[in-house]
Amino acid sequence: MLWTRTTTLPFGILWRFGGIWRVFVLVLLSACAAMIRSNSILSAFLFACAIIILWYFRGPLRSIAQASPIVVSPVDGVIEKIDEGENIPFYGRAGTAVVISSSFFNAGVIRAPLTGKVDMKVQATQDSGDKGDSHAGILCTDSRGSSLFLGAKSNESRNRIVLVPIPGDSIEHGAIIGFNSPGKNIEMFFQNENGYKPVIAKGQKVKSGQTIIAIRRDTRAKNVVI
């Protein structure tokens, strides 16, 4: 399957990724309609609650960065950590870990960070480089073989983040590929050898599909405008 869609119809994200939230919205809107004459204040409150939920399941229009040697942010949020070490999680070798924190005020969509293919979908794997923690997510590879792991700690990802692509699927920068629950961290790992180097700073605000997170280490600066 080819993942290229960067926008969606109204309610499309809620319908595909909402799960139990779809039921909550339907219940709230039904109760709102039933009480509109008998209790207009409560009806307005229930309607406002439904709108707040729908607002989180939005897919903002973005100017998607398309240069092939880059990694774009998969989610809206703030860079919480950039850790370059000799034994990063998942790979167990020299590389970089980037952690992005998000809140309810950020849109929940997850976008493809690069253009390439999904090589592996990981449910939970033990990581020697992260104090025994395990991660769940997907391993993506670009056209030159540079790979990137996108996911979250498995204890945080279960029933809280959704990544739909499966091994063999093709993805393009900024394509909507999943959904993140409010307040959950998204993590990316890339190895140093034939991999990417970060071009962002801790504390920086990022926008999904738009903010450049990293460039491939074999890319000359003149080829990419950051």
**66 vs 170, which has greater pLDDT?**
170
Q: Print burial letters for 154-186: b (CB count within 10 Å at least 16), e (below 16).
A: bebbeeebbbbbeeebbbbbbbbbbbbbeebbb
| DSSP 8-state class, residue 106 | S
**pLDDT confidence of residue 79:** 94
Q: Which of 122, 143, 108 is nearest to 189 (CA)?
A: 122
pLDDT surpassing 50 at residue 133: yes
Pick the range with the lowest mean pLDDT from 42-46, 120-124, 216-220.
216-220
Count of all residues that appear for the chain in the document: 226
Beta-bridged to residue 159, according to DSSP, are none
Contact call for residues 178 and 162 (beta carbons, < 8 A): yes
Q: Provide mean pLDDT across the span 60-86.
A: 85
Q: Which CATH number does the domain 70-217 belong to among 2.70.70.10, 3.40.1230.10, 3.90.1150.10, 2.60.120.10?
A: 2.70.70.10
Q: Provide mean pLDDT across the span 216-223.
A: 63
Pairing between strand 95-101 and 77-85?
antiparallel
Contact call for residues 102 and 124 (beta carbons, < 8 A): no
**In whole angstroms, what is the distance from residue 132 CA to residue 25 CA?**
39
Residue 61 confidence class, pLDDT cut points 50, 70, 90: confident
Q: Where are the domains of the chain?
A: 7-56, 70-217
Amino acid at 222: K
Q: Other C-beta atoms within 10 Å of 138: how many?
A: 23
Q: Other C-beta atoms within 10 Å of 50: how many?
A: 18
**pLDDT confidence of residue 226:** 45
Tokens of 163: 């990544």
Q: What is the mean pLDDT of the chain?
A: 82
Contact call for residues 90 and 136 (beta carbons, < 8 A): no
**pLDDT confidence of residue 122:** 79
Of these ranges, 45-49, 118-122, 187-191, the one predicted with the greatest mean pLDDT is 45-49
* pTM beyond 0.75: yes
pLDDT surpassing 80 at residue 125: no
